[in-house]
Amino acid sequence: MINAVGREIPEEILRITGKEVFQGNNYKEGVEFHKQGPIVKPVMDHNTSKMVGSIREALEKCGAHDGMTLGFHHHFREGDLVVNMVMKEVHDMGIKDVTICASSLGKAHDALVPYIEDGTITNIQSSGVRGKIGEAISTGKLKGLAIMRSHGGRVRAIQTGETNIDISFIGAPTCDDYGNCKGIGGKSDCGVLSYSFVDGNHADKVVAVTDCLVPFPNYPADVAMTKVDYVCVVDAIGIPEKIATGAAKPTTDVRKLMMADYCTQVVVNTPYFKEGFSYQTGVGGASIASAASLAKIMRERGIKMGFAVGGMSKGMVDMLDEGLVGKLLDTQDFDLFAVNSVKRPNHHRISAGAYANPFNKGSFVNKLDYVVLAALEVDTNFNCNVVVGSDGRITGAQGGHPDAAQGAKCTIVICPLLQGRTPAICTDVTTVTTPGESIDVVVTDYGVAVNPARQDLLKALKAADCVPLKTIEELRDIAYSIVGEPEAVQFGDRIVGIIEARDGTIMDVVREIKDYEFED
């Protein structure tokens, strides 16, 4: 069946997953559902201890079994040790057919590949699968389907009961003996525990894993003791240098600076740029440079940002210090400056659900004015590919891309026209992650394209004469005139994963890669 972005979703997949095809961003607007709740094991007896001596003991007490679903967060990013630690025990216990429901997986989890190959892990639900796991999925090693979903989508899937988490392991930088978890105050601080809120509320069993046990009560807690079954102390839950890095150096690459400048010009010359506007940015070189030049113009014009939301780093923290932004709503911290700022007033920690769950009564992304995102590919319908490389391998992560893109009034995608010989602006993306209806402006080093559906933005940018405007087709044609017109990736027949839209429908499928064959 063809969906709303023109992608063919085989009937077989619809049948196996029970899902519908994507039918537009607001297909599920106002459609009521019954929120699912977890199985709760009460602790009434004050003599009951939650402390367990090891991960294995935690697994046994939680009734780990074949076919279970485990939940994890990725606040420790490339410094995460929790997932591998838990899965090694699961494997050694001889448990099979496990589903991992992580907020994201990356290069830190390359060690899981043998467990995929031997059937310990048969299903993966994640925002991203960077590194060897992506390679393993693309080469057909995962027995079940990989479900790639956004941050908001994960919360939705858990709250609707579509995914039932049997045991969630929450890596907590500090925790007390009763399970009050915090993201700061320990040896492996990550600042916030946003992705774990939904696990605390909906997982049948919750295990806090910490390397820094602190006196009771560890309040105010990010995940409270009333939701935690067991507490396990280990030597290390993360590698600090890889969790929160030093501040990223500002880019000196002229192309990135050009794109950053175009991006800033788009922001300041469109109608939403006024006192109290809201903004989300990423941590790419061009994004950071753009936020810096935006701050300069804000100072010149005396315009303050009402709030910034999403992943935080030094740039945003400095703006808070300077009084250029009213509030920071934090879902993830990228550097130590952000981690250390988390304690301050006006720097608020929000859950992934409050940030982006499409199935609650209204999340922060709905209130965003501007968001600046990256993409691997953008096609002439403005659809974005954030997950699958141009060689067909699963390589990236949705993150909050589709969430913020739909929510924001002006969604800007920054993308160099060419990545090596690969044209990032193309006729059809390899795989659709975020639908074109969510994307308003595309900024490349060769010019800026505005989605024809946004004549208001186009008019404003034309009048301001601030950026070189081109149509998206013109950008694609320039790309093809330099590198040649690419052919589509040759995939195998087997579908190894689905790209899930925010509302749980299917945006696209990912097929197994195969070796290239010359047609003769």
Partner 1 sequence: MNPNKKRLRRTMMFLNCQKPGLIKDPYIYKPDSIMLDLEDAVAEKEKDAARYSLYHALQEIDYRGVERVVRINGLDSEFWQEDIRAAVAGGADSIRIPKTESAEDVKMVEQAVRAAEEEFHIESGRTLIMAAIESAKGVMNCLDICEASERLFGIALSGGDYTKDLQTHITGTGVELMGARQHMIIAARAAGVQCFDTVYTDLDDMDGFRKDVETIHAMGFDGKSIINPRQISIVHDIYTPKEKDIIFAEKVVKEIDAKSALGIGVFTVDGKMIDIAFYDGAKRTIELAKASGVYKGDL
Partner 2 sequence: MEILKPAAAGTLESSDAMVTVEPNDEGAGIEFDLDSVVIHQFGHQIRKVVMETLERLDVKDVKISVVDKGALDCTIKARVECAVYRANDQKSNLPWGGAIR
Rule CB under 8 A: which residues touch partner 2? 390-392, 420-422, 482-484, 486-490, 516, 518-519
Helix, strand, coil fractions of the chain, as percent rounded to 5: 30, 25, 45
**Stretch of 54-62, 168-176, 253-261, 423-431 contacting partner 1, by CB under 8 A:** 253-261
CA distance 363 to 373: 19
Determine the straight-line distance between the first and last CA of the chain, rounded to whole angstroms: 31
Name 450's bridge partners. 441
Q: What's the alpha-carbon Rg for the chain, to the nearest Å?
A: 23
Antiparallel, parallel or unpaired: β 174-175 and 181-182: antiparallel
Query: Of 323 and 420, which CB lies nearer to partner 2 in the complex structure?
Result: 420
When CB distances are held under 5 to 8 angstroms depending on the partner's kind, the choice from partner 2, partner 1, none that residue 464 binds is: none
Please tell me whether residue 49 binds partner 1 under the rule CB under 8 A. Answer: no
Question: Of residues 36, 482, 484, 485, which one binds partner 1 by CB under 8 A?
Answer: 482
Q: How far is the CB of 439 from partner 2 (least distance, A)?
A: 23
**Stretch of 129-137, 247-255, 332-340, 392-400 contacting partner 1, by CB under 8 A:** 247-255
Query: Of 18 and 420, which CB lies nearer to partner 2 in the complex structure?
Result: 420
Question: Of residues 445, 474, 477, 512, which one binds partner 1 by CB under 8 A?
Answer: 445
Both tokens of 343, joined, read: 């304690």
- Residue list 414-433, contact with partner 1 (CB under 8 A): 418
Question: Of residues 32, 53, 215, 252, which one binds partner 1 by CB under 8 A?
Answer: 252
Q: How far is the CB of 486 from partner 2 (least distance, A)?
A: 3
Q: Which residue, chain included where needed, has tokens 């941590």?
A: 283
Q: How far is the CB of 113 from partner 1 (least distance, A)?
A: 32
Q: Are the C-beta atoms of 313 and 339 separated by less than 8 Å?
A: no
Burial code (b: 16+ CB inside 10 Å, e: under 16) for 386-404 equals: bbbbbebbbbbbbbbbbbb
Please tell me whether residue 178 binds partner 1 under the rule CB under 8 A. Answer: no
Candidates 310, 260, 258, 314; CA nearest to 289 is 260
When CB distances are held under 5 to 8 angstroms depending on the partner's kind, the choice from partner 1, partner 2, none that residue 391 binds is: partner 2
When CB distances are held under 5 to 8 angstroms depending on the partner's kind, the choice from partner 2, partner 1, none that residue 490 binds is: partner 2
* Residues with Cβ within 8 Å of residue 441, at least 6 apart in sequence: 266, 410, 411, 412, 413, 448, 449, 450, 451, 454, 457
**Stretch of 27-35, 46-54, 254-262, 433-441 contacting partner 1, by CB under 8 A:** 254-262
Query: Of 274 and 421, which CB lies nearer to partner 1 in the complex structure?
Result: 421
Q: Give the helix ranges, DSSP H, for 369-454.
A: 401-407
Kindly state the DSSP code that residue 247 receives in the 8-state scheme.
P
Question: Of residues 49, 455, 471, 481, which one binds partner 1 by CB under 8 A?
Answer: 481
Q: How far is the CB of 475 from partner 1 (least distance, A)?
A: 13
Candidates 181, 185, 234; CA nearest to 206 is 181
**Stretch of 37-45, 205-213, 252-260, 262-270 contacting partner 1, by CB under 8 A:** 252-260
Please tell me whether residue 262 binds partner 1 under the rule CB under 8 A. Answer: no
Please tell me whether residue 249 binds partner 1 under the rule CB under 8 A. Answer: no
Name 280's bridge partners. 371
| Number of residues that this document lists for the chain | 520
CA distance 498 to 157: 14
When CB distances are held under 5 to 8 angstroms depending on the partner's kind, the choice from partner 1, partner 2, none that residue 392 binds is: partner 2
Q: Distance between alpha carbon 274 and the CA centroid of its chain, in Å?
A: 28
Please tell me whether residue 307 binds partner 1 under the rule CB under 8 A. Answer: no
Question: Of residues 2, 39, 254, 463, which one binds partner 1 by CB under 8 A?
Answer: 254
Query: Of 1 and 488, which CB lies nearer to partner 2 in the complex structure?
Result: 488
Please tell me whether residue 1 binds partner 1 under the rule CB under 8 A. Answer: no
Both tokens of 32, joined, read: 């009521």
When CB distances are held under 5 to 8 angstroms depending on the partner's kind, the choice from partner 2, partner 1, none that residue 489 binds is: partner 2
**Cβ neighbours of 373 (radius 10 Å):** 26
Query: Of 92 and 391, which CB lies nearer to partner 2 in the complex structure?
Result: 391
Q: What is the DSSP string of 248-316?
A: PPPP--HHHHHHHHHHHHHHHTSTT-STTEEEE--SSHHHHHHHHHHHHHHHHHT--EEEEEEEE-HHH
Number of amino acids touching partner 1 (CB under 8 A): 9
Q: Interface residues with partner 1 (CB under 8 A)?
A: 252, 254-255, 258, 418, 445-446, 481-482
